[in-house]
Amino acid sequence: MASWAVLEQQRVWISPRAVSFTVVCDACAQIAAAEGYGASTVHGTLPLDAQRGSIECPRGHHLRVERDGR
Ligand SMILES: [Zn+2]
């Protein structure tokens, strides 16, 4: 019932010193796999002093970004 909402809350980890990064959106990866084409990567940026943030993929999925390590 609420599983779709859970699916939409993705979390991705980036390396401690990453300012710009490219991650895979799982939801898009599933769509791309089902349709046989399409991109699933998302490009984002996060300031070095930020521990977390959020980005949106081209299809509108929300991804929480968390900085790995400390
Ligand atoms: Zn997506």
CA 42 to ligand 1 centroid distance, Å: 8
CA 57 to ligand 1 centroid distance, Å: 5
pTM for this entry: 0.78
In sequence order, what are the beta bridge partners of 63? Answer: 10, 55
CA 61 to ligand 1 centroid distance, Å: 4
CA 36 to ligand 1 centroid distance, Å: 15
Task: For the chain, give the mean pLDDT.
Answer: 89
Would you state the pLDDT for residue 5?
Answer: 52
Which residues in the chain come in under a pLDDT of 70?
1-8, 70
